[in-house]
């Protein structure tokens, strides 16, 4: 019998013939009744929920599709919640009678579909979390299984074959009228702008698999040989030995949420944070049998190296900025202080005024003679959720958000990066990209979907009031503006010039943020406790000065 998931089905891989493979039989396996031991995050958030004015309740499917969060709370839910759930359900995609994901957008105001009629892996994550928090896990299970099958197909861009572990960026359901059946067609980057494979898809898949396991208590899915193999294939791409001298992952521009040329090639914070979180999630689910033991050892070693590297070399606060400003260059030997030979004259003027005395963040990129001082929201929020950031660093990131609210949040949460590129720098870095003009799209645009990561980070650090303030901004406009994809302008005041309406992850991001605030115990499925064994010795303070 042919090995599962390795059947070659072409560059645009189809699941029309793979659908009956053994993997899908997992859908029919009985779910084990497992009494879970709550993690520190779940316990602490559940106990804190009383202080937030929230009430915990058992999970279960809601009656008449009424979101469970409605019944959990004694207060009247915001009217936007009902419409958001209705819009989310309209975006659901079905394959042979089973829900397998949500469309990127359901915008009936335009005839230009582009690729918004597909199920994107990264886009589906907030939708999946919303369904899990509402006790609806079937769609998430089907999604995980179908994307796992697609991973096993042969992937080619022109004459080059991609790695076996690459997860698709997206897929869509197509109907074969001749054969009278549906099949799935995946995109691994061969039709994407710039033809870049999605590095983040595999990480999000692992993170979502853990979220499903934590939410349902169902260990049978993650422990199947197929899911174990899927994780190992993804990790094999990242843990392979090569010419690297750093534990971080070297990436091309456009390989993640910022999927256009924006000067994030090298070692972008978003990928490193997701890599760290995926490694920790995989470590919690990897079975120590066969080659699993070897993977566990590799993951553990990489986590130690990666956490030390990120916490020491990517972290920037007032003290560290002053140190870099005084760096000597052209240092040799193991005693070098300026290990990456960063030129002090390369520090942009804006960062001196931007950095408060109390606060800090992980910079956008660090490599040989290169430090990208820009703030990237997703990478910093995921750093808190995964405990890549130490407790002191996590609090410092929250301090920075409060100090620089107008710059990083403005009138519509949340700036994807700050500041924007403009003038000559914009022309050189973006290649004169007409979509990434200043304060637009990925170049300093405001993305409502980032609300759920911000809310998770706020709850993790015990500062939900910051998230509530952001939610209030969202509720003042997002529904009225028909749930756009992004906003433009320095304050995020204007609906993006090419933004899609009824963007699914804008809708789902709002729902997840609201449900996290209503029931903080949900944080357990998307956050990780600090691993004391990976806590490095940091000689200087994480946030300077200590007042």
* Domains of the chain, start order: 93-525 (1.50.10.10)
Distances (CA, A) of 479 to 46, 83, 122, 503: 30, 8, 23, 11
CB-side exposure of 174: number of CA atoms within 13 Å?
A: 12
- Phi and psi at 538, nearest 5°, equal -110, 115
Residue 362 confidence (pLDDT): 98
Low-confidence stretches of the chain (pLDDT beneath 70): 1-76, 533-547
Residue 534 confidence (pLDDT): 66
E strand or H helix at 395: helix 391-403
Residue 152 confidence (pLDDT): 87
Residue of 95, 104, 199, 188 whose CA lies nearest to 150: 188
Residue 68 confidence (pLDDT): 56
- How many C-beta neighbours within 10 Å does residue 469 have? 15
Q: Which residue has the tokens 């944070």?
A: 273
Cβ contacts of 291 within 8 Å, gap of 6 or more: 232
331-339 long-range contacts, CB within 8 A, separation 24+? 339/313
403-411 long-range contacts, CB within 8 A, separation 24+? 403/356, 403/358, 403/359, 404/354, 404/356, 404/359, 406/491, 407/354, 408/375, 408/377, 409/470, 409/473, 409/492, 410/446, 410/489, 410/490, 410/491, 410/492, 410/493, 411/473, 411/477, 411/491, 411/492, 411/493
E strand or H helix at 398: helix 391-403
Residue 536 confidence (pLDDT): 52
What is the sign of the dihedral through the CA atoms of 120, 124, 125 and 126? positive
Say how far apart CA 355 and CA 359 lie, in whole Å: 7
Residue 182 confidence (pLDDT): 92
């Amino acid at each position: 019998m042919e090995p599962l998931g390795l059947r070659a089905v072409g560059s645009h891989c189809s699941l029309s013939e793979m659908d009956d493979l053994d993997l899908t039989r997992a859908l029919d396996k009985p779910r084990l009744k497992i009494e879970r031991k709550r993690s520190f995050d779940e316990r602490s958030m559940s106990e804190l929920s009383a202080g937030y004015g929230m009430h915990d309740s058992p999970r279960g499917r809601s009656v008449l599709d009424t979101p469970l969060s409605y019944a959990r709370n004694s207060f009247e839910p915001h009217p936007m919640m009902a419409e958001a759930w209705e819009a989310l359900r309209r975006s659901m995609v079905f394959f042979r009678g089973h829900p397998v994901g949500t469309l990127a957008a359901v915008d009936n105001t335009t005839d230009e579909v582009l690729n918004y009629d597909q199920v994107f892996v990264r886009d589906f994550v907030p939708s999946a979390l919303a369904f899990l928090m509402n006790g609806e896990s079937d769609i998430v299970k089907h999604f995980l299984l179908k994307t796992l099958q697609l991973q096993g197909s042969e992937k080619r861009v022109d004459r080059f074959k991609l790695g076996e572990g690459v997860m698709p960026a997206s897929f869509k359901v197509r109907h074969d009228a001749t054969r009278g059946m549906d099949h799935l067609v995946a995109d691994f980057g061969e039709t994407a702008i710039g033809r870049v494979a999605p590095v983040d898809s595999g990480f999000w898949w692992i993170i979502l698999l853990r979220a499903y396991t934590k939410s349902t208590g169902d260990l049978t899915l993650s422990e199947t040989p197929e899911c174990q193999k899927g994780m190992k294939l993804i990790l094999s791409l990242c843990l392979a030995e090569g010419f690297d001298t750093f534990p971080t992952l070297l990436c091309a521009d456009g390989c993640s949420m910022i999927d256009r040329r924006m000067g994030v090639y090298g070692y972008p914070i978003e990928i490193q944070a997701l890599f760290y979180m995926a490694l920790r999630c995989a470590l919690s689910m990897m079975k120590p049998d066969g080659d699993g033991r070897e993977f566990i050892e590799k993951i553990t070693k990489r986590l130690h190296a990666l956490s030390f590297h990120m916490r020491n070399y990517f972290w920037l606060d007032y003290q560290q900025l002053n140190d870099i400003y005084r760096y000597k260059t052209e240092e040799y030997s193991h005693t070098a202080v300026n290990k990456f030979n960063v030129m002090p004259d390369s520090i942009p003027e804006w960062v001196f005024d931007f950095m408060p005395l109390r606060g800090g963040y992980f910079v956008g990129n660090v490599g040989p003679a290169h430090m990208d001082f820009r703030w990237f929201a997703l990478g910093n929020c995921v750093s808190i959720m995964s405990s890549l950031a130490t407790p002191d660093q996590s609090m410092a990131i929250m301090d920075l958000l409060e100090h620089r609210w107008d710059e990083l949040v403005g009138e519509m949460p949340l700036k994807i990066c700050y500041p924007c590129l403009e003038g000559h720098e914009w022309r050189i870095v973006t290649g004169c990209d007409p979509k990434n003009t200043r304060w637009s799209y990925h170049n300093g645009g405001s993305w409502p979907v980032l609300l759920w990561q911000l809310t998770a980070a706020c709850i993790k650090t015990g500062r939900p009031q910051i998230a509530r303030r952001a939610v209030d901004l969202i509720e003042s406009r997002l529904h009225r503006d028909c749930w756009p994809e992004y906003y433009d302008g320095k304050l995020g005041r204007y609906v993006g010039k090419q933004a899609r309406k009824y963007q699914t992850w804008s809708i789902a991001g709002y729902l997840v943020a609201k449900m996290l605030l209503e029931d903080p115990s949900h944080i357990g499925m998307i956050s990780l406790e600090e691993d004391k064994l990976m806590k490095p010795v940091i000689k200087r303070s994480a946030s300077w000065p200590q007042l």
